[in-house]
A and B are shown apart, each in its own frame.
Chain A
Amino acid sequence: MKDFRYLKNVVTLRLDGKICIGCGRCMEVCPHGVFTIENRKARITDLDACMECGACSKNCAVAAITVAAGVGCALGMINEWLQGLNLPRTGRGC
């Protein structure tokens, strides 16, 4: 996946190092190698590679990770916006 980089400085992923117990789960589930474990604490080493899938936050037993997870789908978002404006949706989403 090193050939593919999406926009920089946009993702909502946050890690609270104080709460982390260093179990390593986040590193195990992340398909983009965003985390590393150093000195028994998780660290975000490649923030911009995150695709906001939510696997890490879902699997952190102590809730040290937050991320606004969701599918990055343009059609789905257009539909959400149309719905917000009370306009009819355009066909199918994602």
Chain B
Amino acid sequence: MPLLSTQLGCRDRLGAWKARWGIGRMSYLTPPGLYAIGSPGSDDPVIVTANYKMSYDIVRSALHGRNVWILVLETFGINVWCAAGKGTFGTDELIHRIDAAHLTQAVNHRTLLLPILAAPGIAAHEVTRRTGFRVHFATIQATDLPEFLDNGMVTTAAMRELTFTFRERLVLVPVEIVLALKPTIFITALLFLVGTAFNEAAAGFTAAAAFLGAVAAGTIATPLLLPWLPGSSFAVKGATCGMGWGLVWLALAGGDIGVPAGAGTLLALTAVSSFYALNFTGSTPFTSRSGVKKEMRIALPAMIATLVGATLLWLWAAFL
């Protein structure tokens, strides 16, 4: 039985950081199977987690100094929450790992502790029916596990409540940036070239900066300012940030471009930020699919209309 070290070294932190940025994601896997922290016996608890390096590192360090079993499921390097949604952290995989690890020989009891966020993938009654193991959805955060274990395995209301703090949103920002990277580089380069061709390098530079700022408004400012932005729609929240940036840009760089071009730019920046903000719904833990669908049905046509309007205003400014 492999013994797990519970100290997270610097390399692990670097690994976590690299995984966030999508660098070498596949090399951050922990092989699935049964692991021991400390020297667990046949009565010690079994905690189930994903083979996503960060999920598993957090569990490992939270349980430092204890004797517990950790059953790692094969989720292909994806975290518990996403894997449960995709079905890889699922009933069949759990049952398969229980068998493959000969868990019934390692422990006498028949209780498994699972993260609450695994529930979308795990049908607890199915697992019990097919293996005899009772599934106990313990906590949302692995960091609450010590308190949960010390409390006689009672889940408090706080352990069951999902949070979405500033810090939690901050660590998602890199993911948003990586997702937006390719089209952003392309469009920025294009704007720079078009601006330079029509005018001069300085114009190309300010055009590219305007766009980059709008992307940042949607991918960085909107997630961070989320609870303080007006409305419940992400498209509206993003539009607010985009318009704010547009006004800043006009004040700083838009000095003599005239009213039509200025209005067009403001519209375009609002639409760009709104689009990226809408994308952030995929990373939040409280947006329903039906809600996103409804929002998109209204927001996408509105964004396209806004961009068409912006283009007409620019053409007006350029040729009339």
The verdict on B67 contacting chain A, using a C-beta distance below 8 Å, is: no
Given A11-B288, A58-B121, A75-B282, verify A29-B164 contact (CB < 8 Å): no
Chain A residues near B122 (CB-CB < 8 A): 58-59
A31 pairs with B140, CB closer than 8 A: yes
B282 pairs with A72, CB closer than 8 A: yes
Once the chains are docked, how many angstroms separate the CA of A79 from the CA of B154? 42
The verdict on B195 contacting chain A, using a C-beta distance below 8 Å, is: no
Within the complex, the shortest CB–CB distance from A75 to chain B, in Å, comes to: 6
Of chain B, the residue at the smallest CB distance from A71 is B85
**A72 touches which one: B140, B160, B287 (CB < 8 A)?**
B287
B137 pairs with A28, CB closer than 8 A: yes
Chain A residues near B281 (CB-CB < 8 A): 72-74
A29 pairs with B227, CB closer than 8 A: no
The verdict on B214 contacting chain A, using a C-beta distance below 8 Å, is: no
Within the complex, the shortest CB–CB distance from A11 to chain B, in Å, comes to: 5
Q: For chain A, what secondary structure do more than half of its interface residues adopt (helix, strand, loop), or is it mixed? A: loop
Number of contact residues on A: which range applies? 35 or more
1/0 per residue, CB under 8 A from A, across B262-306: the answer is 000000000000000011011011111111111110001000000
B294 pairs with A74, CB closer than 8 A: no
Chain B residues near A68 (CB-CB < 8 A): 289-290
Chain A residues near B84 (CB-CB < 8 A): 55
Within the complex, the shortest CB–CB distance from A27 to chain B, in Å, comes to: 9
Given A31-B140, A94-B282, verify A6-B120 contact (CB < 8 Å): no
**A6 touches which one: B124, B179, B286 (CB < 8 A)?**
B286
Given A4-B226, A10-B291, verify A32-B120 contact (CB < 8 Å): no
The verdict on B119 contacting chain A, using a C-beta distance below 8 Å, is: yes
A29 pairs with B162, CB closer than 8 A: no
User: Within A13-53, which residues are at the interface with B (CB < 8 Å)?
Assistant: 25, 28-29, 31-33, 49-53
The verdict on B117 contacting chain A, using a C-beta distance below 8 Å, is: yes
Given A12-B290, A58-B122, A72-B282, verify A28-B232 contact (CB < 8 Å): no
User: Within B112-147, which residues are at the interface with A (CB < 8 Å)?
Assistant: 116-117, 119-125, 137, 140
Within the complex, the shortest CB–CB distance from B165 to chain A, in Å, comes to: 9
Inter-chain pairs besides A6-B286, A25-B125, A32-B162, 14 sampled, C-beta below 8 Å: A1-B162, A1-B286, A4-B164, A7-B295, A8-B232, A11-B290, A12-B290, A28-B160, A33-B160, A55-B116, A72-B284, A72-B289, A74-B296, A78-B296
Interface residues of B (CB under 8 A from A): 82, 84-85, 116-117, 119-125, 137, 140, 155, 160-164, 179, 182-183, 226-227, 232-233, 278-279, 281-282, 284-296, 300
